[in-house]
Chains A and B, each alone.
Chain A
């Protein structure tokens, strides 16, 4: 199946719950609501025409222009995206599902946006979600063991956020 067919079957199944789609991109994608994510993923994995049995990766993307002069021209409001790259071995096709989230939950800095975990669908999501949590600061609800995977346990902040401030020192070691 090619990307328009996959998007069409998703729209046939979920209708308006597929928020938007972009099929002329290099990696064609649809955007869904975080609340619908697990259901969409289950459909993508279990439908005999789709059979997305491989979760390639989960990425967190921070859209934020720090320079106030460039911000109006940036072309986007500050937000956070979580991107799921999926592949199917039986059908040899690929697809991308995106979530659009606020940078902070209810605009309260420090409160991570919450996304349902897809570890129930793909076991590979376990470490991917831990990495996104670690570096981008997204909370995955229902993850069995959500702790930092790359940085040390007592690290403060999420370094791949654009407004992250580097630590001045860490356990007595000068940072800058």
Chain B
């Protein structure tokens, strides 16, 4: 802290207000008690004594979104649940953070192709800060995700003036846009075109006998 450092008596620390707030905030992330499927078991293990999330200040699982600032979406989100997830997210006070825990919340996971009822990634519903892949992720992985959230909190510049406006976390929305030469109103024809295109590129990429 430059010239003020070490000029006062012992046990007197100087810092900026922002750093102090960020330090307090990152050291007491309160997650929401919110388990949707099997990943919740691993989240509970992370909170329990062996892995002990409380070492990092995030062990106080709150039973209400209004007291929480970290949402760990642990488990498969289906369409019926998606509106509830969104509402819980909206009920959390700012600043709020979201960890997408597990393959299902990262992008549909094993339900990507044939899960008629599963949201293909919770980032289609709420903005996600940290993705923790795995099926389910190990508790260590979730702790790592938590630390990345803490890094993010540490970097927050809420009080500093003239900071660039933070770009919202990129969320995948809308349909997949296909180039016009591969798209067709008839989905079967479109699929044929895409297959032909994929085959052609694969043949072109194949090593030729010289």
Taking beta carbons and an 8 Å cutoff, which residues of A are in contact with B? 150-152, 155, 159, 164, 166-171, 173-176
Tell me the count of chain B residues lying within 8 A, CB to CB, of chain A.
Answer: 15
Contacts of B83 in A (CB 8 A): 171
B100 at the interface (CB under 8 A from A): no
18 more contacts with CB within 8 A, not counting A159-B117, A170-B82, A173-B124, are A150-B117, A151-B79, A151-B117, A152-B80, A166-B116, A167-B116, A169-B175, A171-B79, A171-B82, A173-B79, A173-B119, A173-B125, A174-B120, A174-B172, A174-B173, A174-B174, A174-B175, A175-B120
Q: How far is the CA of A175 from the CA of B125 in the complex (A)?
A: 12
Main DSSP-derived SS at the B contact region? loop
Contacts of A171 in B (CB 8 A): 79, 82-83
The answer on a CB contact under 8 Å between B80 and A174 is no
Taking beta carbons and an 8 Å cutoff, which residues of B are in contact with A? 79-80, 82-83, 116-117, 119-120, 124-125, 172-176
The answer on a CB contact under 8 Å between B175 and A168 is yes
Q: How far is the CA of A169 from the CA of B124 in the complex (A)?
A: 11
Contacts of A169 in B (CB 8 A): 175
6 closest residue pairs by CB, A with B: A159-B116, A152-B80, A170-B79, A173-B124, A166-B116, A174-B124
Question: Can you report 6 A-B residue pairs in the complex whose CB atoms are below 8 A from each other?
Answer: A150-B117, A170-B79, A174-B173, A174-B174, A175-B120, A176-B120
Shortest A165–chain B CB gap in Å is 9
Contacts of B120 in A (CB 8 A): 174-176
Contacts of A164 in B (CB 8 A): 116
Q: How far is the CA of A151 from the CA of B124 in the complex (A)?
A: 19
Nearest A residue to B121 by beta-carbon distance? A174
Q: How far is the CA of A162 from the CA of B116 in the complex (A)?
A: 12
Q: How far is the CA of A122 from the CA of B111 in the complex (A)?
A: 34
